Amino acid sequence: MSDTLQLTMKQLFDKMLAQMGPQGWWPADSKWEIILGAILVQNTNWNNVVRSLHNLKHLTQFSPQHIATLPLPALQDAITPSGFYKNKSRAIAEMYAWLKQYDFDLDKINNTYNDQLRVQLLRMFGIGYETADVLLLYVFDRVEFIADKYAQKLFNQLGIQQYSDYRKLKAVVDLKTDFTLEQAQEFHGLIDEFGKLYLGNKDKWASSFLNGDTLLL
């Protein structure tokens, strides 16, 4: 275990990056693939998502125009490995129908909605708080903090225990002042990969390079 520290958010990021290296999140070749993955990963593991994405790539090559016109039965069949295929297929179909209204021009959508984009995303079927923030961060290139379960567990271990759900933690963390877009994207990847390695139980946490550190909000 390294020397313990009281860390700011940016110092936490810097320490994690120095210890773990770049994670390269979100794992995808295009923003259209990211949108699909963000919806498909809900309530399942990434290995199942990979199988569904493989099927969708075979059918559409992740062309947004092809995804938008994919017949519902074919879409449902392709994403079956990710589970909840009826709800997820509806979410994908409605998302791509909305994107089509703007000619799949992400800049046009950004400029149209400005600071109301998150509100608009949350109005869409199958898009909750976490998925909306993933889309804002990785698709619409906005600096956002994703307050997912791994982030909540990590911050709890670092002494931030009063913000026990997504919205409460999200409300007190703002990365916009100190983080670039690339750093915010990397931070989410670092937190989730750290969580897989060290947040499973007390013994794993005790062996981590953050054990004993505290976080300043």
Looking at residue 14, its pLDDT comes to 98
* Average pLDDT over the chain, rounded to an integer: 96
Looking at residue 5, its pLDDT comes to 87
Segment 113-127 shows an average pLDDT of 98
Segment 191-207 shows an average pLDDT of 96
Residue 199 CA to residue 193 CA, distance in Å, equals 10
How do residues 47-105 score in pLDDT, each as one tens digit?
999 999 999 999 999 999 999 999 999 999 999 999 999 999 999 999 999 999 999 99
Provide, rounded to the nearest whole percent, the portion of the chain with pLDDT above 70.
99
Provide, rounded to the nearest whole percent, the portion of the chain with pLDDT above 90.
95
Residue 185 CA to residue 163 CA, distance in Å, equals 22
Q: Is 2 a residue whose pLDDT tops 60?
A: no
Q: Is 1 a residue whose pLDDT tops 80?
A: no
Q: What is the pTM of this model?
A: 0.95
How do residues 18-48 score in pLDDT, each as one tens digit?
999 999 999 999 999 999 999 999 999 999 9
Residue 146 CA to residue 132 CA, distance in Å, equals 9
Q: What pLDDT band is residue 3 in, cutting at 50, 70 and 90?
A: low
CB burial string 178-199: b at 16+ within 10 A, e below: ebeeebbbbbbbbbbbbbeebb
Residue 152 CA to residue 10 CA, distance in Å, equals 17
